[in-house]
Structure 1
Amino acid sequence: MTNLSVNINKVATLRNARGENTPDVERVAVDCERFGADGITVHPRPDERHIRHDDVIALRPLVKTEFNIEGYPSDDFMRLVLMVRPEQVTLVPDAPDAITSSAGWDVAAHMEMLTSIVDRLHEVGVRASIFVGTDPANIKAAAATGADRVELYTKPYADMYPSDPEAAVAPYVEASMAAHKAGLGVNAGHDLNLENLKFFHERLPYLNEVSIGHAIISDALYLGLEAAIRQYKACLQ
């Protein structure tokens, strides 16, 4: 069984557009779990343009499944996650002004820093995941940091899927096998949607979790949030 973690950043983006509390991010997180989500993901950025630090703090006691916090391990980010202690922290190499994640870590180039961060997370009982591409050597380096999992950056798969699904998924199959061989769990996320998720799940061995936000919230505009989550879960059966 592959878990579905729903990223609720886009809900916060909509809320922030009016400066009030509609939609209510906390209620949406609780509802996502009620509708079948296996976890809640947030990605607080330095400019707080969507999820804010106080959202993260407020969500911690409400999330009953798995709380996953993504972000670049700045000093502010680390203070937040070490205080909140989610089940999982996913380390991403985003610049502060990045619109969204666009690449995984070059782990070897940041080995010392990432190893130190992973150690700090483990000291407080938090699972550490490193956001990477599909290069097996880079995945092996991620294992050397002591990380528990990698999250595979899936935009290249999503971009190629319409024209050649088998070629699109092949590097991810290899990457998943390399991660498993190195003792790492496997997460995945970015541009996975109702068109490409089922095929990805069927082909990929050892897939522990997918984290999906933009597509789910977009589909919920037409389907409703409950129906959207249930359809995404069905892709993972």
Structure 2
Amino acid sequence: MTKLSVNINKIATLRNARGGDVPNLLKAASDIQEFGAEGITIHPRPDERHIRYQDAKDLRSVVHTEFNIEGNPIPEFVDLVLGIQPEQVTLVPDAVDAITSNAGWDTLQNAGFLKEVVAEFKRNGIRTSIFMDPDIRLIEAAAETGTDRIELYTESYAVAYEADDTSGVQTYVEAAKKAMELGLGINAGHDLSLSNLKYFVQEVPGVLEVSIGHALISEALYFGLQNVVSMYLQKLK
């Protein structure tokens, strides 16, 4: 079954809105795992507008499933990840002022840089994943970096599905097939939700893990956090 990793950035956003420690991020991460999620994802940004660097360090002792830290591998981020030693690091080409991730890596243009970063993390025993669009040429270039996995950027699929166009999944099917052919593991994330997740994982082969935050936390306002984690797990069966 495809694993569910819950991105808890939005819980940190809510906490930061009032200061203090409510909701408590560590308790939320612990509960989410108890509810059945197989991983916790965070995406600290340089301005620490949601997840703080200290949060990332504190969570290491709480996450007993899989800890996935996403971010742009600037020196401060690399040092943070190497210090924490999560199970997985996902490289995302965020601009400093990006509201959310809005593009995958150009693995051709950034091949040399990515090879160096991937090698550094792998030397330290951390599985690497590269966030990218479902472009065959770029997936072939990603394989050349030595990365263990890619994370398919699923916004275009989600937008098409919302418009009742299921043909948008086909690009991801072909991308996944190419990734498996090249020996790459496949993760997926961005705008996946209760409404579109089941069709995606049914159609796209080899998806090992999905990382879901904004939709899941938003849906939890209506269904409750424990219920919504269970609902996502049912979609993945």
SS of 2:142's partner is helix
Number of aligned residue pairs: 237
Per-residue displacement from partner, 1:166-208 (whole Å, max 9, x unpaired)? 3110000001101000110000000000110000011010000
| Separation in 1, partners of 2:79, 2:163 | 44
Q: Which amino acid aligns with 2:2?
A: T
TM-score calculated relative to the size of structure 2: 0.99
| Separation in 2, partners of 1:18, 1:51 | 14
SS of 2:152's partner is strand
Per-residue displacement from partner, 1:69-105 (whole Å, max 9, x unpaired)? 0000000000000000100000000001100000100
Distance 1:165 1:235, change over 3 A: farther
Q: Which amino acid aligns with 2:200?
A: F
| Separation in 2, partners of 1:225, 1:128 | 29
List runs of 5+ in structure 2 lacking aligned partners.
none
- The equivalences for 1:92-107 within 5 A come to 92-107=92-107
Q: Which amino acid aligns with 2:208?
A: N
Per-residue displacement from partner, 1:113-139 (whole Å, max 9, x unpaired)? 000000000111000000000111100
| Separation in 2, partners of 1:138, 1:66 | 27
- The equivalences for 1:1-237 within 5 A come to 1-237=1-237
| Separation in 1, partners of 2:141, 2:217 | 34
Task: State the 1:164 CA deviation.
Answer: 4.1
Q: Which amino acid aligns with 1:170?
A: Q
Task: State the 1:165 CA deviation.
Answer: 3.9
SS of 1:89's partner is strand
Work out the percentage of aligned pairs sharing the same amino acid.
56
Q: Which amino acid aligns with 1:223?
A: F
- Given that 2:40 and 2:63 are in contact with CA atoms closer than 8 Å, whether structure 1 keeps it comes out as yes
List runs of 5+ in structure 1 lacking aligned partners.
none
- Given that 2:85 and 2:126 are in contact with CA atoms closer than 8 Å, whether structure 1 keeps it comes out as yes
Per-residue displacement from partner, 1:11-31 (whole Å, max 9, x unpaired)? 000000011000000000000
TM-score calculated relative to the size of structure 1: 0.99
| Separation in 2, partners of 1:137, 1:81 | 29
